[in-house]
Amino acid sequence: MKPSAAPAPPALPPATGAWREGDPPGRRSWLRLSAPLPLEGAPPLPGATLAYETWGRLAPDAANAVLLLHALTGDSHAAGPAGPGHPSPGWWDALIGPGRPLDTDRWFLVAPNVLGGCQGSTGPASAGPSGRPWGPDFPPLTPRDQMAAEAALADALGIGRWAAVIGGSMGGMRALEWAVARPGRTGSLLLLATCAAASAEQLAWSAIQREAVQNDPGWRGGRYHDAGPGRGPHRGLGLARRVAHLTYRSEPELQSRFGRAVRPGGGFEVASYLDHHARKLARRFDAGSYLTLSAAMDAHDVGRGRGGTGAALARANMPALVAGVDSDRLYPLAQQAELATHLPGADGLRIIESPYGHDGFLVEVEQVGALVRELLDAA
């Protein structure tokens, strides 16, 4: 009997997990902005492109459009399986489709990949003016910049007013900017596990994660995109993901799932779980985008230049639902309570009960689906 062959070693991670020209398009569409995009803290951004996906059909009067805004490591692929061009299945797949809370027989859904992201929209992995990847020369962004790019997308699609703008975590920051800066274009609002301004603790977690990436020798000053497999900052990005994932979940859930269990080859199971998520992210995300987007989240302060949080939120006079996760230690309920207190159209804080921490807004699809139905039934 021939001895069985040893399993092949896993392939080296790419220098970047970004979608790049020549990769399968998947179900994305693209908008190239016709004019340079003004930015808050840098010269206008030339040649910006937004990748986006849609579901359903836009009504003749464009009154049935709903904007879905993803979190830090999400993208435009809110629904559908993983496959060529899409490294992960849809992040809200269970909520989208005929008869589901985001009913594609009724609503026209639009999910853009955020500006600065890495799955088709312009970001650090994209070609800059020189033809080479932007890398560390990519300008700093704020949620206001990102919302302005999404407004250009709405214009191009012929959508003057969204029936609803929905976002969680980082997506909630951009949704809030829509409501405050474009209240006439925001028919209703759903904010999930987000805040009016990044807190000191949130800033601290972000700083640690960026430091992990930049201390990786594979970072190469941010010019690693064409370095080849195994030569990018995947170790630093993986460490950043491990840190982040601990803030996304709750201590009781980790204890219940793993406790002090030891894996067969040695080491604790909980460490293996974090290793798994680190490897996954390194293969589907870009380290430069991770830094750009986390810094944009740090810049989030809806009251900046608007007379403070209360004065800014008073502008958002549309119907609004604000929900937080009871076990969220990264975006605690007090932050959503502040939003619910100051938003004129909110009727108090809704609480998602979940052991899953911050990720509850992605995991608890029945509870989130009920909130979506409530919002859209009133739209």
Q: What's the mean pLDDT in 176-197?
A: 98
Q: What's this model's pTM, rounded to 2 decimal places?
A: 0.96
Q: How are beta strands 164-168 and 65-69 bridged, if at all?
A: parallel
The 3-state DSSP class for residue 93 equals: helix
- Catalytic, 298? Answer no
Q: Of 79, 81, 88, whose CA–CA distance to 54 is shortest? A: 79
The alpha carbon of 296 is separated from its chain's Cα centroid by a whole number of angstroms, namely 11
Residue type, 216: D
Of 225, 245, 300, 358, which one is the catalytic site residue? Answer: 358
Name residues whose C-beta falls within 8 Å of residue 76's C-beta, 6 or more positions apart in sequence.
Answer: 28, 51, 52, 53, 70, 111, 112, 113, 119, 120, 121
What pLDDT, on the 0 to 100 scale, is given for residue 8? 61
- Share of the chain residues as helix, strand and coil, in percent rounded to the nearest 5: 35, 15, 45
According to DSSP, residue 91 is labeled: T
What confidence category does residue 2 fall into, taking pLDDT thresholds of 50, 70 and 90? low
What confidence category does residue 128 fall into, taking pLDDT thresholds of 50, 70 and 90? very high
- Catalytic, 169? Answer yes
Query: Residue 80 to residues 53, 64, 92, 120, 280: CA-CA distances in angstroms?
Result: 11, 21, 9, 17, 18
Task: Identify the structural domains of the chain with CATH numbers, from first to last.
Answer: 29-199+301-377 (3.40.50.1820), 203-294 (1.10.1740.110)
Q: At what angle do helices 234-248 and 200-214 cross, to 10 degrees?
A: 160
According to DSSP, residue 8 is labeled: P
Query: CB atoms < 10 A from the CB of 260, how many?
Result: 8
- Catalytic, 256? Answer no
Of 75, 103, 216, 328, which one is the catalytic site residue? Answer: 328
Q: Is the pLDDT assigned to residue 11 strictly greater than 90?
A: no
Name residues whose C-beta falls within 8 Å of residue 310's C-beta, 6 or more positions apart in sequence.
Answer: 303, 342
How many percent of the chain have pLDDT more than 70?
Answer: 98
pLDDT tens across 246-302, in order? 999 999 999 999 999 999 989 999 999 999 999 999 999 999 999 999 999 999 999
What pLDDT, on the 0 to 100 scale, is given for residue 7? 58
Of 126, 169, 188, 294, which one is the catalytic site residue? Answer: 169
What pLDDT, on the 0 to 100 scale, is given for residue 6? 53
The 3-state DSSP class for residue 334 equals: helix
Reading phi first (left if > 0) and then psi (alpha if -120 to 50, else beta), residue 71 is in beta
282/237 Cα distance (integer angstroms): 6
